[in-house]
Amino acid sequence: MAGLVSARANPIYSSHNLRRSPLPRPMASRALEIPYKHPAIALRPSKSLSFVAASLQPSKTISAGQFSNTLPTEEVLNIWRSAGAVCFDVDSTVCLDEGIDELADFCGAGKAVAEWTTKAMSGSVPFEEALAARLSLFNPSLSQVQDFLDKRPPRISPGIAGLIKKLMAKNIDVYLVSGGFRQMINPVALQLGIPLENIFANQLLFGSSGEFIGFDAKEPTSRSGGKATAVQQIRKVHNYKALVMIGDGATDLEARKPGGADLFICYAGVQLREAVAAKADWLIFDFEELITSL
Catalytically annotated residues: 89, 91
Q: What is the DSSP string of the chain?
A: -TTPPPSS-SGGG--TT-SSPPPP-TTGGGS--PPP---S----TTS-HHHHHHHTS-SSPPPTTS-S-SS--HHHHHHHHH-SEEEE-TBTTTBSS-HHHHHHHHTT-HHHHHHHHHHHHHTSS-HHHHHHHHHHTT---HHHHHHHHHHS---BPTTHHHHHHHHHHTT-EEEEEEEEEHHHHHHHHHHHT--GGGEEEE-EEE-TTS-EEEE-TTSGGGSTTHHHHHHHHHHHHHT-S-EEEEESSHHHHTT-STTS-SEEEEE-SS---HHHHHH-SEEES-THHHHHH-
